């Protein structure tokens, strides 16, 4: 009966449901109950229908207020007042917990700062477009001739003119060629690097001189370059003190006066850092031949034409070369399989620097993740302390949004402070990195911390702040507030859910740290392997210096060769000098005069066909070189003065040319398309030398003596590097060297003077740089991980004091409690190690190109990394665990 009556008086279902859906949870019960009451009263006095009608109308009236309760916007309070009030309050709260705040800010600063610094590097070098207008349209234009075993080569005058005159894909097309010359006048004689360029060169790049005017075709003049030059900003400021009167002055290059017409803007760095003078590349139609690919080309693509299409278009012009040039026979064109190759200029500039930099960014991202995990943990712990406060607020009706605001305002302060500190750290780090970075890192001068990095840092910190704030609010939803309030601190042990969150974070940190440790470990081992590589020579304490003989004073092979012979004789006569020699260029150096590769054939062996011709490096050398660099003689004798045109082969070359045994005494000669070079006799075979890089196999080298009788056409001894070894450090021979040179020719500069050790270091500089940074990142990760682990364990122990007290009061020994704590902590660490090892196996594969003779899955490295981390983790767990054992059961039980 009661039931029947209550049912008769139930409010209309649809309307009730609608209202229930719209009302926010906090008000739902109350409002619906009140309305049900009124509905009942009305039904009793006015009848069911009137009551229902009233109810429905009332629901209609309640719609807007209900929505407003759900989303109180615009808030009845000025949102700005709310925000400011919240922020001020939370700041006060944070200042009352300085340990937590400082720790969080410092950790964030470390994570964000390092990430920002490396990102600056990556952004400046890899991501930002080159600093030329519309730089995406600039390409390097070269060729490959796979049929002749020729890798990437540049342009010849013939191909350049042909493409320029018949091609349609370019807005502008230019050539450049680098050289090293002597600069005199206005200061000490200096050897400088220059580039000879066509007038279209600067047009392609879209660069104009900052002072004066550009070079034009009208500036052409016979001789080396032209009579007009452009200076780099650096040369202008350093040698000529930034004097604007330079435009009226002349400079002497290789003895010839040339007028300065302009100065380029600062920071202009193409084709390389350190090009100080730009001269006109003389266009001599008589020299337009197909052969001679010693020039480099760049072009600006026409709008709308992509690289592939431009390549195809130029490729179509290749057969036409046969008609244009006598030396481009159709047979040669086909045999060589000449292909036009275009590379975006940015790719050319970046080279192979990308992998290393991405690896660094990856590493630093891991550090950031670990740092954030640490701070999140700290934040959870900090939030823990205020469970009661939060519970009271919730009981009084604070919504989840209010809770979120409560935590968010704190995390925003922390994130803001962490980011500000982090950016300061980043600034400092970038400055340090720039000083330590090897010169071989491209675009170094363009590196600067700018808006993009700051934006990234701000985005990271905003995300982090949100993450930190949301985590505790999610958890608090499930907490039983009244229970917490009543129980107070009498709860025996911490909430299981809280502990699990902390453990998850710890496992994640451990896993990430493993990845980083393994990566840096692999790099370290690579480096170590590299350091122990047998280079084939020994350059310690060898003094090296470069001498370039100007064409005017030494116009032929004989005069150049005579100069060096005389100089070396004087050096050898110096007391203390045990060996002195000269070579066209040293191993492990990149020379602007990159030797043109040559083809050789051996007498008595079948002449290699087109596909089998292999290229060797040809070097001019004197006997003293092998002695100075301690390159062992494996067979024969270094006697370069015989009448039989002696040459020396490096071991790999001897082995290939004469696989059946003795090379000494046999004859070889160069292969040239239209001539029959004379045979030369192998006088000796010397040990293999790692010529290009320590991690590349030893090269095939064909050593040709400097003696005048052995003049090879097209080969000039005008530029040689001296090597001097003696009893004592290399610096001892500097003065004698300069004096000897000055005695022979007072106007001749000696440059590039350095001990070979420096050259060796520079060759491995970039790898060393990457390795050091990775190791630092790994160390930081290890440190942060240990701190995090310690903090979580310590906090856990602190919360469970009562539990330990109970256990020990019930008879557990301190050792058992210790074991329990370490066991639980250890379980998490083991999980992290396992996950980390699996992750590492997957990701280190990406590092493969940076490694040398070390597998990305190298077991020894993995073992060491895991063991190290396990040891640190154990230590970080044991320390606070020991505190657990010292709990006084009586105190623990009695405290509240």
Partner 1 sequence: MRFLKLTEQLVLLALAHLGAEGYGVTIRREIEARTGRTVSTTAVYAALERLSRDGLVAAQLSAPIAERGGRARRQFSLTRRGAEMLQREREAVDRMWAGLDANPLFARR
**Of the candidates 118, 100, 157, which has an alpha carbon nearest to the alpha carbon of residue 292?**
157
Q: Does 48 bind partner 1 (CB under 8 A)?
A: no
From candidates 11, 15, 16, 35, binder to partner 1 by CB under 8 A: 35
Query: Is 837 exposed, middle or buried (CB count within 10 Å of its CB: 0-12, 13-18, 19+)?
Result: middle
67 versus 871: smaller Cβ distance to partner 1: 67
Stretch that binds partner 1, among 60-68, 435-443, 615-623, 800-808 (CB under 8 A): 60-68
d(CA 776, CA 766): 16
Q: Does 528 bind partner 1 (CB under 8 A)?
A: no
State the nearest-atom distance from the C-beta of 397 to partner 1, in Å: 7
From candidates 12, 18, 56, 68, binder to partner 1 by CB under 8 A: 68
Stretch that binds partner 1, among 33-41, 177-185, 532-540, 551-559 (CB under 8 A): 33-41
Strand, helix or coil for residue 852: coil
Q: Does 79 bind partner 1 (CB under 8 A)?
A: no
Torsion sign over Cα 104, 106, 107, 111: positive
Q: How many Cα atoms are found within 13 Å in the side-chain-facing hemisphere of 708?
A: 11
d(CA 654, CA 662): 8
10 versus 474: smaller Cβ distance to partner 1: 10
30 versus 168: smaller Cβ distance to partner 1: 30
**Of the candidates 719, 726, 721, which has an alpha carbon nearest to the alpha carbon of residue 542?**
726
98 versus 397: smaller Cβ distance to partner 1: 397
Q: Does 77 bind partner 1 (CB under 8 A)?
A: yes
Count of residues engaged in binding partner 1, rule: CB under 8 A? 23
DSSP 252: E
32 versus 562: smaller Cβ distance to partner 1: 32
Greatest alpha-carbon pair distance for the chain in Å reads 135
C-alpha distances in Å from residue 638, one per residue of 486, 532, 642, 838:
97, 28, 10, 56
33 versus 218: smaller Cβ distance to partner 1: 33
77 versus 500: smaller Cβ distance to partner 1: 77
d(CA 787, CA 378): 11
**Of the candidates 296, 291, 295, 298, which has an alpha carbon nearest to the alpha carbon of residue 333?**
291
From candidates 18, 38, 467, 757, binder to partner 1 by CB under 8 A: 38
Q: Does 58 bind partner 1 (CB under 8 A)?
A: yes
Place of tokens 């004469």: 658
Distance from chain centroid for Cα 7? 75
Q: Does 51 bind partner 1 (CB under 8 A)?
A: no
State the nearest-atom distance from the C-beta of 51 to partner 1, in Å: 14
Helix (H) or strand (E) holding 276: strand 275-280
711, two tokens: 């003049």
Strand, helix or coil for residue 240: coil
State the nearest-atom distance from the C-beta of 391 to partner 1, in Å: 17
397 versus 661: smaller Cβ distance to partner 1: 397
d(CA 236, CA 211): 11
75 versus 284: smaller Cβ distance to partner 1: 75
d(CA 681, CA 668): 6
Residue 560 CB neighbours (<10 A)? 24
401 versus 448: smaller Cβ distance to partner 1: 401
Q: Does 73 bind partner 1 (CB under 8 A)?
A: no
54 versus 551: smaller Cβ distance to partner 1: 54
From candidates 8, 25, 61, 217, binder to partner 1 by CB under 8 A: 61
Determine the angle formed by the axes of helices 496-531 and 451-476, rounding to 10 degrees: 150
Site string for partner 1, 397-426 (x = CB under 8 A): x-----------------------------
60, two tokens: 């209609």
d(CA 135, CA 431): 27
State the nearest-atom distance from the C-beta of 36 to partner 1, in Å: 8
Stretch that binds partner 1, among 72-80, 118-126, 646-654, 683-691 (CB under 8 A): 72-80
Q: Does 89 bind partner 1 (CB under 8 A)?
A: no
State the nearest-atom distance from the C-beta of 389 to partner 1, in Å: 17
Residue 614 phi, psi (nearest 5):
-115, 145
From candidates 15, 62, 586, 657, binder to partner 1 by CB under 8 A: 62
d(CA 502, CA 555): 79
State the nearest-atom distance from the C-beta of 73 to partner 1, in Å: 13
From candidates 51, 66, 230, 829, binder to partner 1 by CB under 8 A: 66
d(CA 194, CA 251): 13
State the nearest-atom distance from the C-beta of 22 to partner 1, in Å: 9
Strand, helix or coil for residue 453: helix
Stretch that binds partner 1, among 23-31, 99-107, 630-638, 801-809 (CB under 8 A): 23-31
From candidates 8, 17, 25, 78, binder to partner 1 by CB under 8 A: 78
393 versus 883: smaller Cβ distance to partner 1: 393
Binding residues vs partner 1 (CB under 8 A): 19, 23, 27, 30-31, 33-38, 40, 58, 61-62, 65-66, 68-69, 76-78, 397
């Amino acid at each position: 009966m009661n039931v029947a009556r209550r049912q008769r008086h139930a409010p209309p279902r649809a309307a009730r449901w609608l209202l229930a859906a719209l009302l926010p949870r906090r008000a739902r019960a109350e409002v619906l109950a009140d309305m049900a009451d009124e509905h009942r009263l009305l039904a009793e006095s006015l009848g069911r229908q009137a009551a229902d009608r009233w109810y429905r109308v009332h629901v209609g009236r309640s719609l807007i207020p209900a929505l407003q309760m759900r989303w109180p916007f615009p808030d009845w309070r000025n949102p700005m007042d709310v925000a400011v009030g919240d922020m001020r309050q939370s700041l006060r709260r944070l200042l009352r917990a300085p340990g937590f705040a400082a720790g969080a800010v410092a950790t964030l600063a470390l994570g964000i700062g390092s990430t920002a610094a490396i990102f600056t590097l990556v952004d400046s070098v890899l991501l930002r477009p080159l600093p030329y207008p519309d730089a995406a349209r600039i390409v390097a234009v070269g060729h490959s001739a796979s049929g002749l075993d020729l890798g990437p080569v540049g342009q010849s005058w013939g191909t350049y003119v042909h493409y320029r005159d018949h091609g349609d894909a370019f807005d502008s097309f230019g050539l450049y060629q680098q050289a090293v010359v002597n600069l005199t006048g206005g200061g000490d004689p200096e050897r400088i690097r220059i580039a000879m360029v066509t007038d279209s060169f600067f047009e392609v790049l879209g660069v104009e001189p900052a002072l004066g005017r550009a070079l034009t075709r009208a500036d052409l003049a016979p001789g080396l370059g032209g009579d007009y030059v452009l200076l780099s900003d650096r040369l202008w400021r350093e040698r000529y003190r930034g004097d604007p009167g330079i435009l009226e002055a002349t400079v002497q290059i290789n003895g010839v006066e040339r007028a300065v017409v302009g100065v380029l803007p600062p920071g202009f760095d193409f084709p390389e850092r350190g090009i100080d003078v730009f001269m006109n590349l003389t266009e001599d139609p008589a020299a337009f031949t197909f052969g001679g690919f010693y020039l480099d080309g760049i072009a600006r693509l026409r709008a709308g034409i992509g690289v592939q299409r431009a390549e195809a278009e130029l490729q179509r012009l290749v057969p036409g070369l046969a008609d244009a040039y006598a030396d481009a026979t159709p047979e040669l064109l086909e045999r060589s399989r000449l292909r036009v190759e275009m590379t975006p200029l940015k790719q050319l500039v970046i080279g192979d620097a990308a992998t290393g930099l991405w690896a660094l960014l990856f590493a630093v991202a891991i550090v950031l993740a670990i740092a954030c995990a640490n701070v999140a943990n700290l934040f959870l712990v900090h939030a823990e302390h205020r469970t009661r406060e939060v519970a009271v607020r919730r009981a009084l009706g604070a919504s989840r949004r209010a809770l979120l605001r409560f935590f968010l305002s704190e995390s925003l302060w922390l994130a803001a402070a962490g980011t500000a500190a982090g950016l300061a750290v980043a600034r400092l780090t970038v400055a340090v990195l720039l000083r330590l970075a090897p010169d071989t890192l491209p675009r170094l001068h363009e590196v600067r911390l700018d808006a993009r990095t700051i934006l990234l840092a701000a985005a990271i910190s905003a995300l982090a702040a949100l993450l930190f704030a949301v985590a505790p609010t999610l958890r608090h939803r499930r907490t039983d507030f009244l229970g917490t309030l009543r129980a107070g601190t009498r709860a025996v042990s911490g909430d299981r859910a809280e502990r699990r969150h902390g453990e998850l974070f710890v496992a994640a940190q451990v896993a990430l740290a493993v990845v980083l440790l393994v990566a840096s470990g692999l790099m370290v081992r690579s480096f170590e392997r590299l350091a122990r590589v047998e280079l084939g020579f020994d350059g310690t304490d060898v003094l090296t210096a470069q001498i370039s003989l100007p064409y005017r004073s030494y116009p032929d092979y004989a005069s150049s060769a005579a100069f060096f012979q005389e100089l070396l004789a004087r050096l050898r006569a110096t007391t203390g000098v045990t060996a002195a020699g000269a070579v066209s260029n040293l191993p492990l150096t990149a020379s602007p005069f990159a030797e043109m590769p040559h083809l050789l054939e051996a007498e008595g062996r079948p002449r290699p066909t087109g596909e089998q011709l292999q290229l060797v490096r040809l070097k001019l050398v004197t006997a003293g070189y092998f002695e100075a660099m301690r390159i062992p003689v494996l067979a024969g004798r270094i006697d370069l003065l015989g009448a039989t045109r002696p040459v020396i082969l490096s071991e790999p070359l001897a082995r290939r040319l004469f696989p059946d045994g003795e090379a000494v005494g046999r004859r070889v000669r160069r292969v040239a398309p239209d001539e029959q070079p004379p045979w030369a006799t192998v006088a000796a075979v010397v040990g293999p030398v790692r010529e290009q890089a320590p991690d590349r196999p030893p090269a095939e080298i064909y050593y040709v003596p400097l003696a005048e009788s052995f003049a090879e056409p097209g080969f000039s001894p005008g530029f040689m590097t001296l090597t001097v070894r003696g009893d004592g450090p290399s610096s001892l021979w500097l003065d004698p060297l300069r004096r000897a040179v000055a005695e022979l020719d007072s106007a001749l500069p000696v440059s590039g003077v350095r001990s070979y050790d420096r050259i060796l270091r520079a060759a491995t500089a970039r790898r060393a740089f990457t390795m050091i940074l990775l190791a630092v990142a790994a160390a930081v990760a290890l440190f942060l991980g240990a701190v995090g682990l310690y903090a979580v364990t310590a906090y856990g122990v602190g919360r469970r004091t009562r539990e330990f007290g109970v256990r020990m009061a019930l008879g557990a020994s301190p050792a058992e409690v210790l074991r329990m704590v370490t066991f639980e902590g250890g379980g998490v660490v083991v999980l992290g190690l396992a996950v980390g090892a699996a992750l590492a196996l997957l990701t280190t594969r990406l590092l493969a190109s940076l490694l040398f003779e070390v597998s990305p899955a190298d077991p020894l490295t993995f073992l060491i990394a895991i063991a190290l981390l396990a040891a640190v983790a154990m230590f970080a767990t044991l320390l606070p665990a020991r505190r657990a054992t010292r709990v006084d059961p009586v105190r623990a039980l009695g405290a509240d």
